Chains A and B, each alone.
Chain A
Amino acid sequence: MQLTNRKVVVSHKELSFAERMYLPAVAKGMAITLSHLFKKSPTIDYPKKTRPMSATYRGRHVLKRDENGAERCVACGMCAVACPAEAITIVAAERKKGEEHLYREEKYASSFEINMLRCIFCGLCEDACPKEAIFLTDRLVDAEFEREDFIYGKEKLVEKIDKRIDITKRQTQAVLDFKKIPGLRHNTLFDPKKQVKH
């Protein structure tokens, strides 16, 4: 079976005099090299320039905060159980009184670690999350010297309150529509005044 027509049959003919001089071959080689000086370069001048990246590129994760700056993750462990690489480790804790501005719900992740060496950037954690807390982003995981530095803790994963990471392009229309359903607790912020007591 022939896959391409670039097959070359190797022959071992005796070289002619001109060929034995090598000079024509050298000239031909130089011509190829020089001609590339005038061609468009296939590489780009990274890091001064970067290639365009899809808004839904699956790179380094972010743990989102809500409108009030409280962490959205409730340590439910859905991402960790969905992860095929078993890269996520979570420890949960209970929110104390007075921490409502820090954590959105009564439970939160006191430790949240992703091992970026194990992660295969499949995005299943993002799919599994019921709280819109974890997203993959179009940022890259930095190179490191030590293996330990690839285990990202909360300080690297949770977005900075003054430097929010935009993930709006990652949400499908179905998700945006779902969020408009009134009465879904998921969509409303906790407001003690609105609580119905019996």
Chain B
Amino acid sequence: MKVTIDGITIDVPKGTTILQAARMIGPEVAPPTMCYYSSLKTSGGYCRTCIVKVTQGSAANPNPMPKPVASCRTEVMDGMVVENVTNNDVLEARKGVVEFLLINHPLDCPVCDQAGECHLQDLGYEHGLATTRYEFPRREFDKIDIGKYIKLHMTRCILCYRCVKVADQLTDKRVHGVIHRGDAAEISTYIENVIENDFSGNVIDVCPVGALTDKTFRFKTRVWFTKPVEASRECKKCTGRVRLWYKGDEILRVTGRKDQWGEVEDFICNECRFEKKKTSDWKIEGPTNVNRHSVISQNHYNNLNELKLQVLKQQKALGFIQIDKRP
């Protein structure tokens, strides 16, 4: 099926969503997501950050869709024309969505362990207002310990339901869900029932904000002072492919390997995540390639080659150097 997103046409199989098609084209046109997670079934459809405008429903029915649609939950039709960053209305609407997401959000990034790798920060930076119009007290909750490794800071939660899907799909006994609805909704472990499943630690990785955080890493350092490296080990429960975050010689935390969309490649088990914090436990594969625009790349020079290429490209564009002048 042919679909055109921001003027770029791509052929995709039936059943693909607009979001997946946009991701196939590349990060320039892919809408941001807060709740969709490709490896979790039925995720998406809660946050509305991924809205796009469909200016032509399909080749058979060229009428536009009346309202912006959530691209993570809308399948493409043959001949569909979609506008994301090229449509000002979409950007305006997304700004509104961000404002709603931030209404009850404390924005206490300076004390939040997620800062530096937080999707809400990126979203707010790109689409948000510099000030707030909200003058009422924001809702606040006490922090809750979920088991001995995870801390839930409900105040920062944006109710994306990703952790609920993890609890549902990765662990056998679900003890974690959303109670109440609307303004009063909150994530709960059903009377602080301890999550003790082997894969419960993955809720930390899927949480797009700093609501679910690693207690073994709590306040240890800021992520941009750590050095990520890829490592692996033989593990009976999971693939053992992880990312280690070093400060000096010390492993401060272990996470899954996140791809360019911020989604982990493999879900890892709690043993790998919380109990293997010695270099001798791991086989190091090499430094993580950190995006140059991420604050985590500050003072890390492992992507030097990429950097050189970029500089070269820029210089070429400016006409500083000419390549291939020789016959």
Hey, which chain A residues are within 8 Å of B222, CB to CB? Answer: 76-77, 81
Q: Does residue B225 face the partner (Cβ distance < 8 Å to A)?
A: yes
Q: Verify A107–B136 contact, CB threshold 8 A.
A: no
Knowing A76-B110, A105-B111, A198-B180 touch, does A183 contact B219 (C-beta < 8 A)?
A: no
Is A76 within 8 A of B184, CB to CB? no
Does B7 touch A at the CB level, under 8 Å?
A: no
- Number of interchain pairs (Cβ within 8 Å): 65
With a CB–CB cut-off of 8 A, which chain B residues contact A194? 137
Q: Within the complex, which residue of A74, A80, A93, A106 is in contact with B225, where a contact is CB–CB below 8 Å?
A: A80
Contact A196 B298 (CB under 8 A): no
Question: Which one of B56-64, B127-135, B303-311 is at the A interface?
Answer: B127-135
Assembly CA distance A107 to B109 (angstroms): 11
**1/0 per residue B211-224: CB within 8 Å of A?**
00000001111101
Does B111 contact A107, Cβ atoms closer than 8 Å?
A: yes
- CB-CB contacts below 8 Å: B83-126 with A: 106-111, 115
Nearest-CB residue, chain B, relative to A92:
B219
B interface majority secondary structure: loop
- B54 → A minimal CB distance (Å): 37
Docked pose: A86 CA to B218 CA in angstroms: 24
Assembled-state Cα–Cα distance A182/B137 (Å):
10
Answer whether A183 and B136 are a contact pair too, CB < 8 Å, given A80-B225, A198-B184, A198-B186: yes
Q: Is there an interface contact between B110 and A78, defined as CB atoms closer than 8 Å? A: yes
Q: Which residue of B lies closest to A181 (CB)?
A: B131
Partner of B224, one of A77, A86, A131: A77
Determine if A107 and B219 form an interchain contact, defined as CB atoms under 8 angstroms apart. Answer: yes
A187 to B109, CA, bound (A): 15
The interface of chain A, by Cβ under 8 A from chain B, is 74-78, 80-81, 86, 92-94, 105-107, 130-131, 178, 181-185, 194-198
